[in-house]
Amino acid sequence: MNKTAILIGFGGMGKRYYKALKLMKFNIIAICEKKKINFINYKFENNLKLTNNYKKLLNMHADLLCVASNTKSRFKILDSFCKKSSIKKIITEKPLSVSYKDSLAINKIAKKKKVRLIVNTHRSFSPNFLMVDELFNKYKEKPSTIFINSPSAGLGNMGSTFFDLGFHFFKQNPNSVIGNIDKTGTINPRGKVFKDPGGHGIIYFNKNKKLFFNLSENTGLPYTILIKSENLEVSIDEVNNNFTLKKRPKNMKKKPLFFYLFKPLNKKIKLKHKFDVVKMTCFSIKKIFEKKFSYKNLENATSVMGCIFGVHISGKEKRIIKLPLKKKYHNLKINFA
């Protein structure tokens, strides 16, 4: 792609965007970053503009804007660029915002200004996960249950990824959530100022579909995802490039589902690509330039925020929380990294 891009935020994720854009032959014309130390060991082109104030970039034209700054800063940045910039394609990091109110506002502003806005939950664009979709379709099966087991990488951080996948495979929005957050008080690795504990619970969907998640602080093993329907099960250890399909044999289909004394057909799935966050970020970049565009990703990201805040509310109020969230909860804020 012979296109131009502006990057806001040059921390860990910002550097991944930088590498992804370079990999896709983008001409990066400006980078905004407040911490000069993050530029150490990087040599940029002489005509690349470096600044610590994103407002100085509002008048610049580019084909793409990538926003990888801290979550708290992103609402003002996205609001400013949607309203005042000529850039009409924006990719922003997850989670979408620090409050459900801001999430709804971002959704509304992007649509009103006809800005293509994608949240970088890139797995729903990944050929590997799209292939899992195809497997269920091939056998005329519909996923009914998803299990997530993960180290405590935060409900805002990795929870955004996992919940988005739930919406992707179930093809619907949730109706309620129950859960609780970890109370161990572990300091966020990105800094003491950030608050993003893990947690556990269940997200409920229509037709008895459920997403069980455990992002608690008692495991250090790579996350695993289990997607089940009546006769299929796909087990995913993404980090170690291991996707496995289990299938109920044909001769068992006349038996009741509670009959489980058999050996499933077991097959390792050949992957389209290996785990590589830089290359996987490219999926979001490619998606935003497709001829047809849908706001489904942004709408899902907004619903995801409802689930995340719902878990916090459920833990505090000790009850199931209906979704979408009632207006009295819209102002609840969490300073995600």
For 75-100, what is each residue's pLDDT tens digit?
999 999 999 999 999 999 999 999 99
Q: Are residues 12 and 60 in the same domain?
A: yes
Please check whether residues 154 and 211 belong to one and the same domain: yes
- Residue 95 belongs to what domain range? 4-121+280-295
Domain count, the chain: 2
Whether 226 contacts 146, CB under 8 Å: yes
The answer to whether residues 32 and 49 belong to one domain is yes
Q: CATH number of the domain at 67, please.
A: 3.40.50.720
What's the CATH number where 212 sits?
Answer: 3.30.360.10
For residues 195-219, average pLDDT: 93
- Three-state DSSP at 239 gives helix
Residues 82 and 184 in one domain: no
Report percent pLDDT > 70 for the chain: 99
| Identity of residue 37 | I
Residue 108 lies in a domain: yes
One domain, residues 45 and 172: no
Cβ–Cβ under 8 Å, residues 65 and 8: yes
Are 222 and 247 members of one domain? yes
Out of 247, 275, 303, a domain closes at 275
Tokens of 52: 């610590």
Q: Tokens at residue 34, please?
A: 């407040």
For the segment 248-281, what is each residue's pLDDT rounded down to a tens digit? 998 888 888 888 889 999 999 999 999 999 999 9
The Cβ-side half-sphere exposure at 86, using a 13 Å CA radius, reads: 6
Mapped onto helix, strand or coil, the DSSP state of residue 171 is coil
